[in-house]
């Protein structure tokens, strides 16, 4: 058994850095595609609604691990020279866009219909109606669920370890193999995830309670 010293902790922190970067890239990329998915999902065009419903269903009905594998090997097939980092980032972006798209669809539909009618009555066109009237209200409604999904995404990045990407969990595996102290190492790794995720979960549920009170 080896000790867990400065070097090991530093290695874990390097892993944490990649975990956070991966989650941030997935969240921002997924957010940009997600808003598009949500808008298409709530649009008047039936085909757009159907296609985005299928897209969301496919991602919500399959394991994240499989999505990682399919994108990882699928991107390689395109003949583009990509490293694991880009493939994994694409996978998380697609995954997040489907989930955020569904969350935001719900929020757009939760905005009272009178708001859309009022915007129409004022003669606002689609872009202005969405940008100035509907989306700001939908964003507020969606906050608890969006934060909740961010926590899911941070935890989900641990699966990148299985395709060989060195983030926090993989760093833990490597140190565990070197030091033969799996319990201590995975205890520390779990604690780091908890320190990152718990304040977010707390903020999300706090917001939800405040909004539920305000709605009463």
Q: Is 201 in the site for other proteins (CB under 8 A)?
A: yes
Within a 13 Å sphere around the CA of 150, how many CA atoms are in the beta-carbon half? Answer: 24
Distance CA 193, CA 61 (A): 25
Q: Is 88 in the site for other proteins (CB under 8 A)?
A: no
Binder of other proteins out of 67, 97, 142, 146 (CB under 8 A): 67
Cβ atoms of 10 and 173 within 8 Å: the answer is no
CA-closest candidate to residue 153, choices 211, 82, 89: 89
CA-closest candidate to residue 171, choices 56, 13, 47, 43: 13
Distance CA 118, CA 98 (A): 30
* Closer Cβ to other proteins, 139 or 196, answer by number: 196
Distance CA 166, CA 26 (A): 16
Cβ atoms of 151 and 195 within 8 Å: the answer is no
Return the range that interacts with other proteins (CB under 8 A); candidates 20-28, 39-47, 111-119, 189-197: 189-197
Cβ atoms of 15 and 168 within 8 Å: the answer is yes
Q: Is 79 in the site for other proteins (CB under 8 A)?
A: yes
* Closer Cβ to other proteins, 8 or 135, answer by number: 8
Q: Is 97 in the site for other proteins (CB under 8 A)?
A: no
Return the range that interacts with other proteins (CB under 8 A); candidates 21-29, 32-40, 129-137, 178-186: 178-186
Q: Is 66 in the site for other proteins (CB under 8 A)?
A: yes
Q: Is 101 in the site for other proteins (CB under 8 A)?
A: no
Measure CA 105 to chain center.
15
Q: Is 159 in the site for other proteins (CB under 8 A)?
A: yes
Cβ atoms of 90 and 97 within 8 Å: the answer is no
Query: What's the min distance (Å) between Cβ of 66 and other proteins?
Result: 4
Binder of other proteins out of 29, 34, 144, 156 (CB under 8 A): 156
- What are the backbone angles phi and psi of residue 112, rounded to the nearest 5°? -50, 140
* Closer Cβ to other proteins, 32 or 162, answer by number: 162
* Residues near other proteins, by CB under 8 A: 57-58, 61-67, 69-70, 73-74, 76-79, 151, 155-156, 158-159, 161-162, 169, 172-173, 176, 182-183, 186-187, 189-190, 193-194, 197-198, 201
């Amino acid at each position: 058994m080896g000790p867990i010293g400065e070097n090991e902790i530093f290695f874990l922190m390097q892993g944490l850095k990649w975990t956070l970067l991966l989650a941030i890239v997935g969240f921002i990329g997924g957010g940009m595609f997600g808003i598009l998915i949500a808008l298409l999902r709530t649009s008047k065009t039936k085909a757009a609604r159907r296609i985005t419903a299928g897209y969301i269903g496919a991602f919500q009905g399959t394991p994240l691990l499989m999505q990682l594998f399919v994108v990882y090997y699928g991107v390689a097939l395109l003949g583009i020279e990509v490293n694991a980092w880009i493939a994994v980032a694409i996978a998380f972006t697609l995954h997040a866009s489907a989930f955020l798209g569904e969350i935001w669809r719900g929020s757009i539909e939760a905005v009272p219909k009178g708001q859309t009618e009022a915007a129409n009555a004022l003669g606002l066109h689609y872009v202005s109606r969405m940008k100035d009237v509907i989306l700001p209200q939908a964003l507020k409604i969606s906050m608890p669920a969006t934060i909740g999904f961010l926590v899911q995404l941070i935890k989900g990045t641990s699966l990148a370890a299985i395709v060989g990407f060195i983030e926090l969990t993989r760093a833990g595996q490597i140190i565990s193999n070197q030091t033969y102290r799996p319990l201590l190492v995975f205890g520390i790794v779990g604690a780091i995830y908890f320190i990152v995720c718990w304040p977010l979960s707390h903020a999300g549920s706090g917001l939800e309670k405040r909004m539920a009170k305000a709605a009463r």
